[in-house]
Amino acid sequence: MEKAVCARAPAKVNLHLRVFGRRKDGFHSLRSIFQAISLADELTVRSLKQPERIEIDGVFDCPPEKTTIYQGIVAFREATGIQTGVSVKVGKTIPAGAGLGGGSSDAAALLLSLDSLFATRLSLRDLAGLGARVGSDVPFFLYGGAAIVEGRGELIRPLAARRDYALVLVFPGFPMGTAEAFRLLDRERPDDGGEADLPASVLESAYPLPPGDWPFANSFEAPVAGIHPEIALWLERLRAAGALFARMSGSGSTLFGVFGGAAEAEQAVGVLRKNAEPDILVCTAFPLAHGISLL
């Protein structure tokens, strides 16, 4: 008999993102504040009668077998030995190449759904280990809420997530590939010696402050804005619309503004949409205190 589990996979914004210079292993370390938000994809995961079969239905920017969802199924099967067929239907709301972690969140939701569907009762630590094999940001989404994230994304220090502000997101109509963003960063900044570094303790102390007092930054913002002037334009529009704090999320291309509450955010959305082209997404989102939710 086929069974099904539904899950809601939230996006995230990086309130702060400091990228360090390239390490000997070729990767970069980071120090960031991740905040889960209400914009979300929805997954429906079903078991199939055909063993080993994988069906993935959704609108992606790559073939289904290249998605984090497919990779998550493979990692789960290798860890558990379960080879039952699986069907995954994805309702995509989070734009691809947006710096919002949609692919990573989908993978986390997939792993939790499979664990529930097949009653494997994997610990959160075990699921995070599987998630790290799929992508650096996947472990965060299993915890959700807010956290200081370090290393390649595997070191997570949860924070008491705030719910006392609203966000306005602007997706400026073009994706930004992570590899390209790193290339731009490395070209502009061969080493990271000239960039200020906020210790994790300072980030933790600053998070409860009024957003207008946040000292947070994003290492990618200037390099990406250098080839995409729309980044600086929309950040200025967000501030002009009343944002207490505005930054690019992740490696781009989404911009976000922080507002005191829902009314202020909705008013700003109305103003910003007057300047938006048809392919520019402007929407309101809210911080979340928890991670993936099974529906």
How far is Cα of residue 116 from the mean position of the Cα atoms in its chain?
A: 23
* Residue 185: closest CA among 250, 115, 129: 250
Is there a contact between 87 and 46 (Cβ–Cβ < 8 Å)? yes
CA distances from 135 to 85, 167, 235, 287 (A): 23, 26, 28, 22
Task: Let me know if 12 is a catalytic residue.
Answer: yes
Tell me the C-alpha distance between 76 and 63, whole Å.
20
Residue of 41, 115, 137, 192 marked catalytic: 137
Dihedral class, residue 263 (left if φ above 0, else alpha if ψ from -120 to 50, else beta):
alpha
135 within 8 A of 66, measured Cβ to Cβ = no
In 3D, which of 123, 161, 160, 159 has the Cα closest to residue 142?
Answer: 123
Q: Which of 12, 41, 115, 192 is catalytic?
A: 12
3-state DSSP percent of the chain in helix, strand and coil, to 5:
35, 30, 35
Q: CB-based contacts of 189: which residues, under 8 Å, 6+ apart?
A: 21, 195, 219, 223
137: annotated active-site residue: yes
- Distance from chain centroid for Cα 122: 23
Estimate to the nearest angstrom the gap between the alpha carbon of 76 and the chain centroid. Answer: 21
Taking alpha carbons only, the member of 85, 72, 80 closest to residue 135 is 72
Instruction: Enumerate the active-site residues.
Output: 12, 137
